[in-house]
Structure 1
Amino acid sequence: MNIITVGLDLAKSVFHVVCFNDHFKEVKKRMLRRNQVLQFFAQLPPSRVGMEACASSHYWGRELRALGHEVKLVPPQYVKPYLRGNKNDYNDARAIAEAATRPSMPFVAIKTVAEQDMQAIHRMRAQCIRDRTALSNSTRGLLGEFGIVLPKGLTTLRKSIPGLLEDAENGLSDRFRNLLVRRYEQLVELDEHIAFYTNELVVLSQQDDACQRLQTVPGFGPIVSSAFRSAIGDGRAYGHGRAASASLGLVPRQHSSGGKDNLLGISKRGDRYLRSLLVHGARAVVVQAARKDDPLSRWINRIRKERGWNKAVVAMANKLARIGWAILRYNTIYQPVSAASRH
């Protein structure tokens, strides 16, 4: 039984495997419990194992690669066209295996443990920021019900709450004052959590050589560089910088036909969190470019004058993604003259 390709449908507890020979004829299929997966693959000859790039896929990719298999992570949206028949786990595994054999298929790079550490910190930090925003908006709304309207901004809210608690003439009941004290403690606690995660990212970016090289680029600080590093990896999963930028949704959508090119708005596909960080970094670069006269700043100012502020920011974010990919892929640092000369 010559097994060449294996399709593995991942799950929490019950996994489904379909094996194919060199003529892509099905030779084995099996349902496995979680504790049986590694034992099953340890008995197989080195094969190409296809999986969807989903939850826990990077963990299983590292484990199966350690057993000598060639692991291919396929984006789920590219697996769907290969699904034949009704939707079930075995048919999913067959579709994954077929998609993994396509030579032009864009595969997802398997993340290292260090890259997943960075990504986990970013996810936790982002959740705390969302919770803090929701808490501040809720508090401002509750205060509005007592006739106290505060200006927008976290800083204003932090400064105003102690004064409201001390003011005995503002109409707040004793019960609500106790509730406001608890809400203020929650706000302080979230600030401490966010500061902790931010400090962790700064420390990790100082210890990681790739993050240090990314920070030579204008617009890349510890937060942006660590997020970019954890998402793009070493850059080998992308053939060129535009592919990396397109995966982050920083290029126009296309709807062309009959030899006529038709470009639409920015696609906004991929990782929204990383894309927002790149746009914020690009915005800082565009602001500073107005006071500079280097080649990159002249290019930014020209785009800003011809196309407007927002398009200049997105264009700069696109350039940052391409430059960041080149730095990771070719193990180099930022070279301002070379970057500006391409445009």
Structure 2
Amino acid sequence: MTEISPSLVCRVGVDLAKRVYQVHCVDGFDKVVSCRSMSPDRFFEWCRTLQPGCVVAMESCSGAHHVCRRLGPLGLRMMILPAQHVGAYRSAGKRSKNDATDAAAICEAASRPHLHAVPVKTAAQQGVLAIHRLREGYKEERTALINRLRGLLAEFGLTFAQSPQALRSALPDVLEDASNELPGDLRLALQRGLAHWDQLDAEMAWCEQRIAQHARSDSRAKKAAELMGVGPITASAVVATVDDFTQFKSAKQFGGWAGLAPSQNSSGGKTKLSGITKRGDVYLRTLLIQGAKSAVMTAHQRSDPISQWLVQLKERVGWQKAVVAMANKNARILWCLMTREDRFDPHHLPQRAAPAQAATVATPAVA
């Protein structure tokens, strides 16, 4: 193995932007070799001069996975660090944030062995997640449109039930009713809003169709969809977000990464637990919790051990805690399924280790 000279660049921190990349380079003695900005094209050409094995670190942001995929064939060691962990290594603090201090903080954070890097996603993974993001955007836009239409109609004394179906069924009649005081221009605007609503529904349906197709074609997604409370959307999002589940040491660690573990405020040997941490991917955690709600609501209709546990847990700690507990259980089961060759069995009972039998001690005879 070739020894790396300390005088060469051994670690590079890169602060990515749209048109300017700020780099911060150190050698084997952690001495600053270079600190400058360059264009993206110039940066990729400059990276060709780095020695194989050099660490190139950046924050997890838009374009980071693309940069890693492009520089990976050069033999460089790519690292994507969580943005929330980099700020602690900015020497100047929050009040002196700029590209140079950010690049220096990234370079410093990359030298810490306890910080886990974000695995580089493939283009196929990002493509599937892009469909999920588009669907979420259409859904938010549709909700905003419905609320906007309700607000405009309420200005003229027209109110309807809360469900979108009630508004949708009543809106055509309202537009045709000449007895209300809606102006002509507003009627035209409401018609266009209704047409936009139909278009958003069509876009969401297309996204859901593509997601369902991915869930049917991916073997791991098919395994994930067998869980109670995990549908095709959640199964597709899980395998697209986490490609390699072996990066987590245990199912407990994966549940904690998803933000489903209780937060702590412990001190002096006294443990104090509170609500879940809500760390990790917000979208994935939301899907797990929403799916867990359906599993809790229908638990009384099933006789498997998990459903019986859910019924008892709901009666003991309440609806909300039972939902979070089920989401955490699903996350742990997902880790087990993805790291092993097993299939989900709702009637599976864990094999507990038999208690060790106490050794028989002979009583000495009394003289």
Q: Structure 1 length as normaliser, TM-score? A: 0.93
Match of 1:217, SS state, is: coil
Match of 2:21, SS state, is: strand
Match of 1:159, SS state, is: helix
Query: How far off its partner does 1:268 sit?
Result: 2.1
Matched letter for residue 83 of structure 1: R
Match of 1:109 in 2: 119
Among residues 186, 192, 197, which one is paired with 1:182 in the alignment?
A: 192
Q: Does 1:293 align with 2:303?
A: yes
Among residues 309, 325, 330, which one is paired with 1:315 in the alignment?
A: 325
Matched letter for residue 34 of structure 1: P
Query: How far off its partner does 1:311 sit?
Result: 0.7
Query: How far off its partner does 1:149 sit?
Result: 1.1
Distance 1:177 1:91 in 2: 55
Matched letter for residue 243 of structure 1: Q
Matched letter for residue 240 of structure 2: S
Match of 1:276 in 2: 286
Distance 2:350 2:198 in 1: 44
Among residues 125, 138, 147, which one is paired with 1:137 in the alignment?
A: 147
Among residues 34, 37, 48, which one is paired with 2:40 in the alignment?
A: 34
- Structure 1, 170-179 or 136-145: larger mean CA deviation: 170-179
Match of 2:20 in 1: 14
Among residues 76, 83, 88, which one is paired with 1:69 in the alignment?
A: 76
Matched letter for residue 34 of structure 2: K
Match of 2:169 in 1: 159
Are the counterparts in 2 of residues 295 and 341 from structure 1 also a CA contact under 8 Å? Answer: no
- Residues 329 and 30 of structure 1, relative CA distance in 2, 3 Å threshold: farther
Query: How far off its partner does 1:52 sit?
Result: 0.9
Match of 1:245 in 2: 255
Matched letter for residue 273 of structure 1: Y
Match of 1:48 in 2: 55
Which runs of 5 or more residues in structure 2 are unaligned?
1-6, 353-367
Which runs of 5 or more residues in structure 1 are unaligned?
none
Are the counterparts in 2 of residues 108 and 237 from structure 1 also a CA contact under 8 Å? Answer: no
Distance 2:36 2:142 in 1: 47
Match of 1:207 in 2: 217
Match of 1:327 in 2: 337
Match of 1:290, SS state, is: helix
- Structure 1, 87-96 or 40-49: larger mean CA deviation: 87-96
Percent of aligned pairs with the same amino acid: 38
Relative contact order (alpha carbons < 8 A, sep ≥ 6): 1 or 2 greater? 1
Q: CA RMSD in A?
A: 1.9
Distance 1:198 1:341 in 2: 39
Q: Does 1:172 align with 2:179?
A: no
- Residues 5 and 154 of structure 1, relative CA distance in 2, 3 Å threshold: same
Match of 1:192 in 2: 202
Match of 1:8, SS state, is: strand
- Residues 21 and 189 of structure 1, relative CA distance in 2, 3 Å threshold: same
Matched letter for residue 55 of structure 2: R
Distance 2:249 2:60 in 1: 19
Match of 1:110, SS state, is: coil
Among residues 234, 244, 256, which one is paired with 2:244 in the alignment?
A: 234
Distance 1:237 1:217 in 2: 22
Per-residue CA shift, 1:101-154, capped at 9, x if unaligned?
222112211111111111111111111111111111111121122222110111
Distance 2:172 2:97 in 1: 58
Matched letter for residue 131 of structure 2: I
Per-residue CA shift, 1:188-243, capped at 9, x if unaligned?
11111111111111112222222112112121111111122222222233222222
Match of 2:85 in 1: 78
Match of 2:3 in 1: none
Distance 2:315 2:206 in 1: 41
Are the counterparts in 2 of residues 129 and 194 from structure 1 also a CA contact under 8 Å? Answer: yes
- Residues 187 and 249 of structure 1, relative CA distance in 2, 3 Å threshold: same
Match of 1:5 in 2: 11
Q: Which has a greater percent of helix?
A: 1
Matched letter for residue 21 of structure 1: D
Higher-Rg structure is: 2
Q: Does 1:259 align with 2:269?
A: yes
Are the counterparts in 2 of residues 51 and 74 from structure 1 also a CA contact under 8 Å? Answer: yes
The alignment of Structure 1 onto Structure 2 pairs a total of residues equal to 342
- Structure 1, 1-10 or 134-143: larger mean CA deviation: 1-10
Distance 2:287 2:62 in 1: 23
Matched letter for residue 9 of structure 2: I
Query: How far off its partner does 1:177 sit?
Result: 2.1
Matched letter for residue 283 of structure 1: K
